[in-house]
Amino acid sequence: MFITASGLTLSFSLMRVVNLTHGAFYMAGGFIGLSVLKFSGSWLLAVLAGGVATSALAFIEERFLLRRARGNDLIETLISLSVAIIVGDLVLVIWGGYPRTISIPEALNGAVSIPLLDTIYPVYRIFTVGLALVIIGALWVFLKKTRLGVTIRAGVDNFEMVSALGINVRRLFSFVFTLSGFLAGVSGVVGGTFLMLVVGEDWRILTLTLIVIIIGGMGSLGGTIVGSLITGLIHSFSTAFIPQFSLFVLFLPVAVILSIRPRGLFGKER
Amino acid sequence: MTKERGYRFRRALLGALACGIIIAIPWISSKYFMMMSIRVMYFGMLTMSVTYLAGELGAVSLMQAAFFGISGYSVALLQSRYGFPFPIPPLAGLVIAVLAAGLFGLLVAKVRGIYFLMLTLVLGQLVWALANQWSAVTKGDTGITNIYAPTFFGISTETSKTAFYFFQLVFFCGAASFLAALKRSPFGLMLRGVRDSESRMAMLGFRVNLLRYAAFVFASLVAALGGVFFTYFTGLINPHSVALPANVEALLAAILGGINSLLGAVVGTVILKTLDVVLSGITDRYMLIMGVLFMLVIMFARQGIVGTLMKYWNNRLFLSRNRDPERRPSGFSKKPEVFRNP
């Protein structure tokens, strides 16, 4: 959840592209990981392969389609929607419509008891949360502290000025988009390991991610974290108590937050 | 002056010819073609709803199928479960859909451009989730079946498809002229003002959000009307009618036909539904082909078919009328461009 949302915020905030392909990349990454796991038996390799494959897809999408519509965000969004439909259907063709799961790697299988709370918790979930934290930390450091990150942010704010300084902003954008595709693929494999992989999952993930973004506000990493916490909590509780409405309940936070703050909790006015 | 009269005459002739053909369809064409026309009409109402929002408000909505489904589900529930007699289920269905549009509209009227698209996508998906998960009421993925079309003056529109055709034709023309009248009305002008320069309209004292809200509700009403006929004709409703592909399909039809005219909505629906029938005989990969088509249209033909034809029409067919710049109708001289570059 964290990872998908952070990948989406990345492409969102940095390129001002609403990338509706993200859910499809998540699913494609998951299925690619599944096949690689069957073939090679290594879970780590599967995660990497999922990430690399979707980043390649993302690169192609950016380079050949989105670049032609740069600056017109409505067209960009609609293009990404069409790519999402195509990728979604291709996944259906290749892997079929049956739900699959990726088995949890042995090193991470099992459960630990947490002494303080007196409960038993699967190791894999802890690993997932840890991974999400690492990725968010890394993204934050990358964007705020490194030279490349600073250049990217500058390129978003003033494309022409940064170009005039002799930096190839287009190439930079391709890189960022590819990175967000990589994150989607990785989260597909990681998420597919304890959730189920099934066709149609792409839209569900995309909806959840968009809710996170709407709640948290666009272009803010902190907002994404808070948004995914709110969404995740409400979703889990409602799944446990009122399963018929588990998704529809998410309408409430969206409605409340949009009526108070139309730009989301941490969104900036443009 | 004679040229002007010639233009009018030709236009009237074309209009009369079109009306004649439409009325004569049940007798001159095969039954199959008539069924196809019925299908085009109810999906056409959905497409018109999308077209109206995109063309007049400049807002691309991905949730009109939700209202299509809400009225459809209401009709299905009220009729097949609670057994209400004829005029109640469709009327209540429309009222419920309008109330839902009123609720969602409170949110979507606040957001602009890309946020509008995102929010409508999310809300549409939530309605789909409700239809899918609340199986106690909606029967989940299987949906509700056994819905019968009403009977008028002893003629059952369920058994006689010709009667159904005319029953729907009346409402279809009603919906089309309703939207067309809205476009011409002062309300339509204000709305176009909002589309072209929102800040100016706000400064002139118009209540911009209220206008956007009203447009959203009106468009949803037309989509809901389409949903009623869909449910009557097919006799069933299930979550697929409110799912994202349904929304994308409506949007594709709208853009394919050209978002600047309601005629475009109908043309786009005709093309898409024909394609649907032709392709379903050959392959299951309808979604794939739809995705590719969508991409091509977005990238290369944003004006749509009617937009392109209109240009030809103005330049060639009625050259005499439009060559004189002073007499050129203002609506044709400068086409509003929703997908313009900033």
Note whether residue B224 is domain-resident. yes
Q: How many CA atoms lie within 13 A of B291 on its CB side?
A: 19
* Predicted local distance difference test score (pLDDT) of residue B155: 67
User: In which element (H, E) is residue B117 found?
Assistant: helix B113-133
A38-42, B53-57, B92-96, B329-333: which range is least confident on average?
A: B329-333
* Predicted local distance difference test score (pLDDT) of residue B320: 45
Note whether residue B285 is domain-resident. no
Collapsing DSSP states into helix, strand and coil, what is residue B85?
coil
Please determine, for residue B329, whether its predicted confidence score (pLDDT) is greater than 50. Answer: no
**Tens of pLDDT, residues A144-165:** 778 777 777 777 667 777 777 7
The partner residue sitting opposite B299, judged by closest CB among A18, A68, A254, is A68
Cα distance between residue B56 and residue A159, in whole Å:
32
* Predicted local distance difference test score (pLDDT) of residue B325: 44
Minimum distance, in Å, between the CA of residue A215 and any CA atom of chain B: 11
Note whether residue B268 is domain-resident. no
* β-bridge partners, A119: A114
Note whether residue B10 is domain-resident. no
Q: pTM of the predicted model, to two decimals?
A: 0.77
Is A269 buried (19+), middle (13-18) or exposed (0-12) by CB count in 10 A? exposed
The partner residue sitting opposite B126, judged by closest CB among A71, A81, A250, is A250
* Predicted local distance difference test score (pLDDT) of residue A94: 78
Contact A77 B107 (CB under 8 A): no
Query: Which chain A residues touch B288 with a CB distance below 8 Å?
Result: 85-86, 89-90, 93
- Which residue type does A40 have? S
Cα distance between residue B163 and residue A248, in whole Å:
39
Select the more confidently predicted residue: B226 or A148: B226
Contact B125 A250 (CB under 8 A): no
| Report for A136-145, A204-213, B220-229: range of highest mean pLDDT | B220-229
Collapsing DSSP states into helix, strand and coil, what is residue B254?
helix
Q: Sign of dihedral through CA atoms B34, B40, B43, B46?
A: negative
β-pairing, A111-114 vs B155-156, is unpaired
Query: Which chain B residues touch A198 with a CB distance below 8 Å?
Result: none
- Which residue type does B255 have? I
Note whether residue B130 is domain-resident. yes
Task: For an interface test with A, give the residue of B50, B61, B106, B107 to mutate (most A CBs within 10 A).
Answer: B107
Is B131 buried (19+), middle (13-18) or exposed (0-12) by CB count in 10 A? buried
Mean pLDDT to the nearest integer, B180-203: 84
Minimum distance, in Å, between the CA of residue A105 and any CA atom of chain B: 32
**Tens of pLDDT, residues A215-270:** 777 666 677 777 777 777 777 777 777 766 666 777 777 777 777 766 666 665 54
Query: Which chain A residues touch B118 with a CB distance below 8 Å?
Result: 18, 210, 213-214
Contact B107 A246 (CB under 8 A): no
- Which residue type does B89 have? P
Note whether residue B276 is domain-resident. no
Percentage of chain B modeled with pLDDT above 90: 0
Contacts for A38-43: CB closer than 8 Å, 24+ residues apart:
A43/A102, A43/A105, A43/A193
CB A165 within 8 A of CB A3: no
Contact A207 B298 (CB under 8 A): no
Split into its structural domains, chain B has a count of: 1
Task: For an interface test with A, give the residue of B213, B299, B303, B337 to mutate (most A CBs within 10 A).
Answer: B299
Both structure tokens of B326? 């002073």
The partner residue sitting opposite B287, judged by closest CB among A71, A85, A245, is A85
Please determine, for residue A76, whether its predicted confidence score (pLDDT) is greater than 70. Answer: yes
Query: Which chain A residues touch B107 with a CB distance below 8 Å?
Result: 254-255, 258-259
Note whether residue B312 is domain-resident. no
Which of the four pLDDT bands, split at 50, 70 and 90, describes residue B312?
low
Mean pLDDT to the nearest integer, B119-145: 78
Query: How high is the ipTM of this complex?
Result: 0.74
* Predicted local distance difference test score (pLDDT) of residue B73: 87
Mean pLDDT of chain B: 77
Query: Which chain A residues touch B337 with a CB distance below 8 Å?
Result: none
Which of the four pLDDT bands, split at 50, 70 and 90, describes residue B338?
low
Mean pLDDT of chain A: 73
The partner residue sitting opposite B122, judged by closest CB among A79, A92, A210, is A210
The domain of B106 spans 32-242
* Predicted local distance difference test score (pLDDT) of residue B339: 55
Could you tell me which chain A residue has the CA closest to the CA of B287? A89
The partner residue sitting opposite A86, judged by closest CB among B60, B292, B302, is B292
Contact B287 A68 (CB under 8 A): no
| Report for A196-205, A252-261, B227-236, B314-323: range of highest mean pLDDT | B227-236
